[in-house]
Amino acid sequence: GLAADSQALIFANTTKEALAIARHPAVEALGVKPLHSDMPQSQRDWLLNSFRGRRIRFLVTTDLLSRGIDLPGLQYVVLFRPPEDPTGYIHRAGRTGRAGDGGEVVTLYDKGDWPKMQKIMEATKQNFENSSLPTEEELRSHAYAA
């Protein structure tokens, strides 16, 4: 399960998708906050600083945070769907595991996304471990155990 102080950066492909994820009742209950380009810069700065200061555990964002942002100690990156191209994956995944720290990247995809996943695996020269989605009960037990 997730440690009580672990954090995750969740990537969506669009602002609309990021907002839909953040507003989902199960996700909202975990305190997930959206961060996207339609927000005023001051609000984005506050959210990012709160995340860095570990006052926020989960941020859902777009490619706005995929480059040029250092998030020391970030344990998890979750891609709600694979990006359109492998470069997007590399930049998103690169937010974790920096400076020799460990990290995990989880990419959610369906059968229609498989061609994108194949391109990502070819570009990164990696084979990914496939898993089924956890049940709602498993998600709740992990979230509240932390």
pLDDT in tens, 10-65: 999 999 999 999 999 888 888 899 999 999 999 999 999 999 999 999 999 998 88
H or E element: which one contains 79?
strand 76-79
Quick one: angle between helices 114-124 and 86-93, nearest 10? 70
Higher local confidence (pLDDT), 84 or 145: 84
**Residues whose CB falls within 8 Å of the CB of residue 112, separated by 6 or more in sequence, listed in order:** none
Which of 11, 121, 123 has the alpha carbon at shortest distance from 66?
Answer: 11
Q: Give CATH superfamily name and number for 8-145.
A: P-loop containing nucleotide triphosphate hydrolases (3.40.50.300)
Which pLDDT score, from 0 to 100, does residue 1 have? 55
Which pLDDT score, from 0 to 100, does residue 144 have? 54
Which of 83, 99, 101 has the alpha carbon at shortest distance from 91?
Answer: 83
Which pLDDT score, from 0 to 100, does residue 98 have? 66
Which tokens belong to 23? 């507003």
**Neighbour tally for 103: CB within 10 Å:** 16
Tens-place pLDDT, residues 83-141: 989 999 988 988 887 666 778 888 999 889 999 999 999 998 888 877 777 777 776 67
Considering the entire predicted model, what is its pTM? 0.84
**Residues whose CB falls within 8 Å of the CB of residue 89, separated by 6 or more in sequence, listed in order:** 79, 82, 83, 107, 120, 123, 124
